[in-house]
Structure 1
Amino acid sequence: MRLTRSVLSLAAVSALAAGSTAVLASPASAAANTTPQKVCGSGYKTVNSAAVGSLGTIYLTYNSANGRNCVATIRSNPGTAVDMSAWLYVSDTGQGASDSGAFTSYAGPVSVYGKAHCVDWGGNIKNVYVSIYGSNCSALKEHRVTSIR
Structure 2
Amino acid sequence: MRFTRSVLAASATAALALGTMTAVASPASAAPDTNPQKVCGSGYKTVNSAPVGSLGTVYLTYNASNGQNCVATIRNNPGRAVAMSAWIYVPDTEESHYDEGLFTSYAGPVYAYGKGHCVDWGGSIANTYVQVHGSNCGALKEHRVTFTR
Instruction: Give the TM-score taking structure 2 as reference length.
Output: 0.78
User: Number of residue pairs matched?
Assistant: 119
Structure 2 counterpart SS, 1:65 = coil
Instruction: Give 5+ residue unaligned stretches, structure 1.
Output: 1-30
Secondary structure at the counterpart of residue 32 of structure 1:
coil
Shift of 1:140: 1.6
| Aligned residue in 2 for 1:103 | 103
In the alignment, the residues of structure 1 paired with residue 32 and residue 90 of structure 2 have an alpha-carbon distance, to the nearest angstrom, of 30
Counterpart of 1:86 in structure 2 is: 86
Query: Contact 2:85–2:108 (CA<8 Å) still a contact in 1?
Result: yes
2:102 maps to a residue whose letter is A
Alignment of 1:12-51 (within 5 A): 32-51=32-51
Amino acid at match of 1:145: V
Does residue 1:147 correspond to 2:147, yes or no?
yes
Which residue of structure 2 aligns with residue 113 of structure 1? 113
Provide, for residues 66-89 of structure 1, a one-character-per-residue CA deviation record: whole Å limited to 9, x for no partner.
000000000000000000000000
Within the alignment, does 1:69 sit opposite 2:97 as a pair? no
Equivalent position of 1:9 in the other structure: none
Q: 1:58 aligns to what?
A: 58
Q: Which amino acid aligns with 1:115?
A: K
Post-superposition offset of 1:139: 4.0
2:38 alignment partner, SS class: helix
Q: 2: CA distance between counterparts of 1:47 and 1:33? A: 21
Partner-residue secondary structure (3-state), 1:74: strand
- Equivalent pair of 2:85/2:101 in contact (CA under 8 Å): yes
What amino acid does structure 2 have at the position aligned with 1:97? H
In 1, Cα distance between equivalents of 2:140 and 2:78: 35
Deviations 1:89-123 (A, max 9, x none): 00000101010000000000000000000000001
CA–CA separation in structure 1 for the residues paired with 2:56 and 2:123:
11
Runs of 4+ in 1 over 2 A off after TM superposition: none
Q: Which runs of 5+ in 2 are unaligned?
A: 1-30
CA-atom RMSD in angstroms? 1.0
Percent of residue pairs bearing the same amino acid type: 73
Q: CA deviation at 1:138?
A: 1.2
TM-score w.r.t. the length of structure 1 is 0.78
Q: Give the corresponding residue for 2:122.
A: 122
Equivalent residue letter for 1:135: S
